[in-house]
Amino acid sequence: MPRVALVTGGNRGIGQGITRRLLADGFAVSILATREEPADVLAELRELGEVRYVRGDVADQGDHERYVQDAVGAWGRLDVLVNNAGVGPTVRADLLDADAESFDRVLGINLRGPYFLTQAFARAVIALRGPLDAPPESPVATIVNVSSISATTVSTNRGEYCVSKAGVAMATQLWAARLAPEGIVVYEVRPGVISTDMTAGARPKYDALFAAGLAPMPRWGRAADVGGAVGMLVAGATPYSTGEIFHVDGGMHIARL
């Protein structure tokens, strides 16, 4: 029986890069996404391994249990949750002009949804695992939260996105502390500027910023770069670490003079 990973938004962009890496590493992957099932994408992914697709919204708490139990029903186990699905504001607006509707939408998807999906996943893992006689030396399960360099880097024309990712960073610490005694480790992967359909419209801006020295590695990141980080963290090679942040940003987070 393969190890089982849940990847929200795993059908496109960074999420698809993560799905591909996990399939290559032998995981069965269940994807949660809002769009109608993309037959062409799934056919390609299924050539790499076992894939299930659950249509639902990470912002809808009612979809969480359905998503988790679909994987349990199919495979009988849970090993990894990757909270990847996220959105930016529909319209980038200055802090003085931004509206509450956009704030609520972005935080609902980027922060509230993953927070409570983590709760549902952890409860299911604990139920499947049964009582512990002692804390396990190897993780029972791993949770990876995909945040962003925006957790600490200010963009005043998309404040709701920055706030949501800063919240993900704190949620990672909270869940890491709470779940460690349960044998569940929690990590944060913090991408920088990654080439996806979400960032395509800003390519001229970031091309210029990279040329001006935005990051020590002067190139766009790839979805596969993020997938590699997730693959490393869920491999079980760091059983005495939790709550860690792994940057995938070409060194952008390094303070430089």
With H, G, I as helix, E, B as strand and everything else as coil, classify residue 125.
Answer: helix
> CB neighbours (10 Å) of residue 254?
10
Beta bridge partners of 141: 184
Q: Which residue has the tokens 């299930």?
A: 52
Beta bridge partners of 83: 145
Helices (H), 5-145: 13-24, 39-46, 61-75, 100-107, 113-129
Strands 141-146 and 80-83: parallel
Instruction: Say what the alpha-carbon torsion angle 250, 18, 103, 247 is, to the nearest 10 degrees.
Output: -30
Looking at this protein, which amino acid is placed at residue 150?
A: S
Torsions phi, psi for 12 (to 5 deg)? -155, 160
18 token code pair: 């993560």
115, 161, 187, 240: the catalytic one is 161
Strands (E), the chain: 4-8, 28-33, 51-55, 80-83, 141-146, 184-191, 245-248
Is residue 180 within 8 Å of 242, Cβ to Cβ? Answer: yes
Cα distance from N-terminal residue to C-terminal residue, the chain: 51
With H, G, I as helix, E, B as strand and everything else as coil, classify residue 146.
Answer: strand
Based on the residue annotation, tell me whether 161 is a catalytic residue of this protein.
yes
Spatial separation of the C-alpha atoms in residues 143 and 189, rounded to whole Å = 11
Active-site residue numbers?
161
